[in-house]
């Protein structure tokens, strides 16, 4: 009997062990599945995040390009607040500010009160005066040339007997070399606008910038005999795409006796949209009328025929409103600067 009982109990024990083994296998399989899914998720999440971030970077790059185009065309400008923070504002708003400040200045002078007026943040006044004229001034500036449009512009300027300033880039062909000299010979001034005009390489490092500046400086000196120390940043002094800090560049310019100038009026001839000569003239005139010193950004690059055609109306209308057309050089007493040279030591 005992033996039979023992046999029964041993059989039951064996069945239990098989059952446990089955359970264990099921548990192991479940753990395996959980482990595999954890691995898959751990791999998938970073991949999805990378794709998402890449798309975001791509979108931001596009935004930066758009902002740059808007800034070069004067639609937006960079400003520095009292705490030293930098931000972008619409050029229209800056013009409003400037107009208000200019009005206060005028009133203060007329009324001979002691009220101190803050100078607009983008205007730097330096104590160098060339002539006694104290009225309104218009400075026509043409960037990115010379090109086939330079001569028609010079012809118009000469017809009205007004000078302008040409911020030139580096061109090594014989025709362009003659044009640098022609600009100076026909009564206008030259400013340097970099040799390459390639944001990526120009602002990649201080070495790149100084080498590029030396190259355009020497080309202009060789072709015109002029030792030009007037500069305009591609994108303006508040440009932010550069890897090198623009303030380091400004320090370099200050240390090497350069002065630079931005603009407070834009013809919008670099925005990429097709603007008629009439529309361009209207925009330049209305913006200029709200500035005592209008620094007008235009371009004499290839394809800027509307710019050439807009000039007579601009010159006639601004002269009728009491503006004197002047050329900019290193001694111009008031230069529009979005980032002020005097603030960068
Ligand atoms: Zn330019």
pLDDT digits over 232-249, tens only?
Answer: 999 999 988 668 999 999
Distance 157 CA to ligand 1 centre (A): 21
Distance 37 CA to ligand 1 centre (A): 55
| ∠ CA 254-324-69, rounded to 5° | 55
Is residue 221 within 8 Å of 181, Cβ to Cβ? no
Residue 299 DSSP symbol: E
Q: % helix / strand / coil in the chain, to the nearest 5?
A: 50, 15, 35
Distance 212 CA to ligand 1 centre (A): 14
Q: Which helix (H) or strand (E) holds 295?
A: strand 293-299
Distance 12 CA to ligand 1 centre (A): 93
Distance 333 CA to ligand 1 centre (A): 23
Does this model's pTM top 0.75? My answer is no
Is residue 203 within 8 Å of 209, Cβ to Cβ? yes
What's residue 17's pLDDT? 79
**Which position has the token pair 């007026």?**
117
Across the strands, what pairs with 191? Answer: 167
Distance 137 CA to ligand 1 centre (A): 23
What's residue 251's pLDDT? 96
Q: Rounded to whole angstroms, how far apart are CA atoms 149 and 172?
A: 17
Distance 51 CA to ligand 1 centre (A): 35
Residue 39 DSSP symbol: H
What's residue 74's pLDDT? 52
Distance 261 CA to ligand 1 centre (A): 12
Distance 5 CA to ligand 1 centre (A): 103
* Residue 79: strand, helix, or coil: strand
Distance 270 CA to ligand 1 centre (A): 9
Is residue 260 within 8 Å of 337, Cβ to Cβ? yes
Which stretches of the chain drop beneath a pLDDT of 70?
1-4, 9-13, 16, 62-130, 241-242
Q: Where are the beta strands (DSSP E) in 56-127?
A: 76-80, 86-90, 123-125
What's residue 2's pLDDT? 56
What's residue 272's pLDDT? 80
For residue 142, report the phi and psi dihedrals to the nearest 5 degrees. Answer: -125, 120
What's residue 55's pLDDT? 83
Distance 235 CA to ligand 1 centre (A): 7
Distance 273 CA to ligand 1 centre (A): 16
What's residue 3's pLDDT? 65
Distance 116 CA to ligand 1 centre (A): 37
Distance 302 CA to ligand 1 centre (A): 12
Distance 218 CA to ligand 1 centre (A): 19
Is residue 78 within 8 Å of 247, Cβ to Cβ? no
Distance 143 CA to ligand 1 centre (A): 5
Residue pLDDT, tens place only, 30-54: 999 999 999 889 999 888 888 888 8
Q: Rounded to whole angstroms, how far apart are CA atoms 147 and 154?
A: 12
């Amino acid at each position: 009997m005992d033996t039979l009982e023992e046999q029964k109990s041993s059989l039951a024990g064996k069945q239990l062990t098989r059952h446990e083994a089955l359970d264990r296998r099921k548990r192991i399989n479940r753990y395996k599945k959980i482990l595999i899914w954890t691995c898959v998720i751990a791999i998938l999440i970073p991949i999805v995040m990378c794709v998402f971030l890449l798309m975001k970077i791509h979108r931001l790059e596009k935004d930066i390009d758009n902002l740059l185009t808007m800034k070069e065309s004067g639609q937006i400008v960079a400003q520095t607040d009292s705490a030293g923070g930098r931000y972008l504002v619409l050029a229209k708003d800056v013009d409003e500010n400037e107009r208000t400040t200019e009005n206060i200045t005028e009133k203060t002078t007329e009324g001979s009160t002691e009220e101190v007026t803050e100078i607009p943040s983008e205007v730097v006044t330096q104590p160098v005066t060339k002539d006694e004229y104290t009225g309104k001034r218009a400075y026509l500036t043409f960037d990115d040339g010379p090109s086939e449009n330079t001569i028609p512009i010079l012809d118009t300027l000469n017809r009205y007997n007004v000078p302008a300033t040409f911020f030139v880039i580096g061109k090594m062909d014989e025709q362009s070399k003659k044009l640098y000299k022609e600009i100076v010979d026909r009564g206008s001034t030259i400013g340097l606008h970099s040799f390459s005009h390639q944001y990526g390489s120009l602002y990649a490092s201080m070495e790149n910038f100084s080498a590029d500046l030396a190259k355009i400086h020497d080309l202009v000196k060789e072709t015109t005999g002029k030792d030009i120390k007037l500069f305009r940043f591609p994108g303006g002094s508040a440009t932010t795409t550069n890897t090198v800090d623009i303030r380091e560049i400004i320090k370099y310019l200050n240390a090497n006796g350069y002065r630079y100038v931005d603009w407070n009026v834009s013809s919008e001839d670099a925005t990429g949209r097709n603007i008629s000569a009439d529309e361009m003239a209207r925009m330049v005139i209305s913006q200029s009328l709200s500035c005592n010193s209008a620094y007008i950004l235009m371009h004499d690059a290839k394809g800027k025929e509307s710019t050439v055609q807009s000039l007579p109306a601009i010159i006639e209308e601004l002269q009728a409103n009491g503006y004197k057309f002047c050329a900019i050089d290193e001694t111009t007493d008031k230069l529009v600067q979005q980032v002020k040279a005097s603030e960068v030591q």
